[in-house]
Every structure is written in structure tokens, then in C-alpha cells.
Amino acid sequence: MTEQLHHDVLGRGPVLLVLPGGAGHPMGLGPLTERLAARFTVVTYDPLGLAHGRLGLPVPEQRVADWSEGAHRVLEAVLPAGGRACVLGTSSGGIAALDLLARHPARLAHVVAHEPPCVTVLPDGAERRAELIRQLDGPGRPPADGAPATPFGVFLAHVLRPFTSYLPSFTAPPGGLTVAAGTDSRGQLLYRTAALLAERLGGAFAEFPGGHLGAVDHPVAFADLLADTLRSSARTSA
């Protein structure tokens, strides 16, 4: 049986795939996607179906490759033959966006990865990853008996560890990549991670409004800067 791909489509125009952070639940992104829908066909991918009736059901340990391959199948369903999409990935969704770019570059026009927590790219990455997990997970991992009842619980139990161990790998320098960080994140772990990723991968680096949750806290300014970034990249590649 073919796995169901949970996604929502809003607006008209060039396809913009949105990969939310956390456990992939698009909560709080409504104002952002509504603003973007004035310029794009916004396709929001919900890899675990948490916003589509699956919250509270059992969830296995997640793999970055599963999210990116699911995103690719969504694109195959919504793009015309030979078409290419832009992608916005935030946090863990940014990691999936990087993996999608590594696996299927021909289908992508430009990827913006906002604060992907690929902290193992740092010279002290192992220590920083352990520190990040301690900060987010509190006293310990959620109990394994029963499915977590919230998207954040799913993230802690099944996404945080495998995704923060991910290190992007490209057979050739990726084209059409912007790694972004929030202005309020300056001096913080994920800002340093984003800046180093951009340098290592040969992509552009950009600052976006707010902090790690800038897409939720500043949806209009975030959406407008994203649209400008994608428009500029289109002009450059034309």
C-alpha cells in the first residue's frame, strides 16, 4: 500500500515547498503561508501527518532520508514535468531540506534552510549536540510506553537525536542554497551552525527576522524577505 503523503496547498504561482520544524507539524505557520500564498503555490508538508489526524498514534524513530524522500514524492505529485520548486525548511525541516537538495537537486530551484540544527558540523559538534539535547530534553527522554501526546513530545522522543546527528553530504557543491539564521540568534549555537554550514557548502548566508521561531513570531517580515531572497536567486540564475 502506498504511504499517504500529508500536505496542504494554498495560493497560486511558482511552487514553494515548506518543511516545518519540530516533528513536522505546521502549527503556527498559518500567517506565514497565507502571506506567501499571494506570490506562490505554497505546499506545506506534514511528514508524520500530525496535523492530519495522526497525533497520538505510535511514531517510530525518524530518519532524515524518510522526510526528504517524502518531500520529493510530494513535489513529484504537484510539479509539472520538468518543473522545479523552491523550498523553505525551518529547524529540523531545514535539515530535511538540505538532504532533499543533496538527493534531488534537479527538482529544486532554490533552498532556504533556516537554522538547521546540524551542530555536528562545528569543531566541537559532539559536545554542542549533547548540550543541545540536555537543554531541550530536560531531565531525560520521554517514556517509550505510549505515543507522545504533543508535537513537541514527538520531536523529543523521535526526531531530536537522529536529526541533530545529521551531517550534510554533497557529491558536488550545491547550487541554489541559502542557509539562514535569525537576527535575534546572533552569538547563539544555531547561528554559528548556520554560518559555518553556508561556508562549508558554498551557499549564501542570510539573516532573517527574529530568532529560531522567526517564521512564527514575524510571519509577514519573514515571508517578504523569503520572497525577495527567492526572487533575487531567480534573477541570478536566469
Q: Is residue 164 part of a domain?
A: yes
Q: Is residue 39 part of a domain?
A: yes
Whole-number pLDDT of residue 139: 52
Q: Is residue 153 part of a domain?
A: yes
Whole-number pLDDT of residue 175: 82
Of 169, 159, 128, 138, give the one whose Cα is nearest residue 60.
Answer: 159
Q: What is d(CA 59, CA 195) in angstroms, rounded to the nearest whole number?
A: 32
Whole-number pLDDT of residue 237: 61
Residue 111 lies in domain: 7-233
- CA angle at 163 for the pair 220 and 228, rounded to the nearest 5°: 25
Q: What is the DSSP string of 36-75?
A: HTTTSEEEEE-TT-IIIIITTS--PPP-HHHHHHHHHHHH
For residue 110, what is its C-alpha cell?
Answer: 532554490
- Segment-wise mean pLDDT, segments of 10 residues, the chain, 238 residues: 81 97 97 98 97 93 97 96 96 98 95 97 96 82 64 95 94 86 98 96 96 98 98 70
Whole-number pLDDT of residue 145: 52
Q: Is residue 99 part of a domain?
A: yes
Instruction: Tell me the HSE value of 86 on the side-chain side, using a 13 A CA sphere.
Output: 22
CATH of the domain at 30: 3.40.50.1820
- What is the per-residue pLDDT across 2-13, written as a single tens digit (0 to 9) for each? 468 999 999 999
Provide the whole-model pTM. 0.94
The total of other beta-carbon atoms located within 10 Å of residue 151's CB is 21
Phi-psi region of 231 (alpha: psi -120 to 50; beta: other; left: phi over 0): alpha
- What is the per-residue pLDDT across 23-38, written as a single tens digit (0 to 9) for each? 999 999 999 999 999 9
Q: Is residue 1 part of a domain?
A: no
Whole-number pLDDT of residue 195: 97
The number of folded domains in the chain is 1
Q: Is residue 2 part of a domain?
A: no
Q: Is residue 238 part of a domain?
A: no
Whole-number pLDDT of residue 21: 98
Q: H-helix or E-strand containing 45?
A: strand 41-45
Of 131, 60, 119, 63, give the one whose Cα is nearest residue 91.
Answer: 119
Residue type, 226: L
